Amino acid sequence: MQTERHISLFRNGRNQAIRIPREFELEGKEATIRKEGDKLIIEPIRKKGLSEVLAVLKPLDENLHDFADNLDEKLLPLDTIDL
Q: Domain ranges for the chain, please list them.
A: 1-83
Q: What is the pLDDT of residue 52?
A: 83
Which CATH fold topology does 1-83 show? Answer: Pemi-like Protein 1; Chain: D (2.10.260)
pLDDT-derived band at 6 (thresholds 50, 70, 90) equals: very high
Per-residue DSSP letters for the chain? Answer: --S------EEETTEEE-PPPGGGPPSSS-EEEEEETTEEEEEE-PPPPHHHHHHHSPPPSS-HHHHHHTS-TTTS-GGGS--
Per-residue pLDDT tens over the stretch 30-74: 999 999 999 999 999 988 788 888 888 888 776 666 666 666 555
Whether the per-residue pLDDT at 5 is higher than 70: the answer is: yes
